[in-house]
Amino acid sequence: MSSKPALFALLFSLGVTIACDKSDSFPPGQWIDLSYDFSPETIYWPTAKPFELKTIHAGMTEQGFYYAAYQFCAAEHGGTHIDAPLHFARGHKTVDQIPLTQLIGPAIKIDVSHEAMADRDYQISVEDFTAWESSHGEIPDGSIVLLQTGFGRYWADRVKYLGTDKRGAEGVAELHFPGLHPNAAKWLVENRKVSAVGIDTASIDYGQSQGYGSHVALMEQDIPAFENVANLDQVPTTGAQIIALPMKIKGGSGGPLRIIAFISHGAQ
């Protein structure tokens, strides 16, 4: 028996709508990688150590075959990654406890690039959500909400992307990038039933946040956040299907995330 029908059945059970033809192929469309690679250039929070890849062995062995193996060291929260609810909500879900149904499903995208390009400290508002709904209808239950600020164009220039290249507490004090306003996060969790929220900046809260109210509002309701999401300019406003699978760290507050989108022909 082909493995494709089983895969389709699994994805369908998780809420992903996938059609197939007689050859069991995906419908016409394309896959978009929404993840940045991990390297010494990967952007991390100013207080976190950068990604490190150490060579264990790379070359020919005494037995005559080539062998390569590496060891990596990385903070949970850096590069394209997920914030599990535990990150800002005591006793809530760790990254390994997040249901797959919240990580795989349909996406809607709200583009505030125009506003964010004019104001590095722009915070996505309730009005941005209601304006989107006035054009596209109410955000469907189970949606993964993607927030495009346009800051992905600055990756991996730390100064342009974060507002500073300083490290430590001094760097945190000088962070300037857009995010989701806490009032908008509260509106979202109180009025809509979304699975997750993703953004193309280093944090779901804007750079100058002191209380991280958007993190708190989302994560107290067990809604994870995807941060440093890549290529949101290639994702349509509606019609994309998202698969966002983090490293399954037992008890973790987050972890590296491989997130991809399937864009069927006709998505807008």
Q: What is the pLDDT of residues 9-64, one digit of tens each?
A: 445 445 454 444 444 566 789 999 999 999 999 999 999 999 999 999 999 999 99
Question: Is the pLDDT assigned to residue 6 strictly greater than 80?
Answer: no
- Average pLDDT of 235-262? 98
pLDDT at 156: 93
Tell me the pLDDT of the chain averaged across its residues: 92
Encode the chain in three state secondary structure.
Answer: CCHHHHHHHHHHHCCCCCCCCCCCCCCCEEEEECCCCCCCCCCECCCCCCCEEEEEEEEECCCCCEEEEEEEECCCCECCEEECHHHCCCCCCCHHHCCHHHCEEEEEEEECHHHHHHCCCCEECHHHHHHHHHHHCCCCCCCEEEEECCHHHHCCCHHHHHCCCCCHHHHHHCCCCCEECHHHHHHHHHHCCCCEEEECCCCCCCCCCCCCHHHHHHHCCCCCEEECCCCHHHCCCEEEEEEEEECCCCCCCEEEEEEEEEEECCCC
Pairing of the two strands 196-199 and 144-148:
parallel
Cα separation, 64 vs 260, whole angstroms? 38
pLDDT band with cut points at 50, 70 and 90 for residue 262: very high
Question: Is the pLDDT assigned to residue 188 strictly greater than 50?
Answer: yes
pLDDT band with cut points at 50, 70 and 90 for residue 66: very high
Residue 226 pairs in a beta bridge with: 82, 198
CB 260 within 8 A of CB 11: no
pLDDT at 22: 42
pLDDT at 11: 55
Q: Over the stretch 119-174, which tens digit does the pLDDT of each residue have?
A: 999 999 999 999 999 999 999 999 999 999 999 999 999 999 999 999 999 999 99
pLDDT at 264: 87
Q: Over the stretch 74-99, which tens digit does the pLDDT of each residue have?
A: 999 999 999 999 999 999 999 999 99
CB 200 within 8 A of CB 148: yes
pLDDT at 267: 74
Backbone angles phi, psi at 232, to 5 degrees: -65, -20
- Average pLDDT of 3-11? 45
Question: Is the pLDDT assigned to residue 263 strictly greater than 80?
Answer: yes
Q: Over the stretch 116-133, which tens digit does the pLDDT of each residue have?
A: 999 999 999 999 999 999
Cα separation, 56 vs 34, whole angstroms? 29
Fold held by 30-43+76-264: Glucose Oxidase; domain 1 (3.50.30)
pTM of the entire structure? 0.90
pLDDT at 174: 98
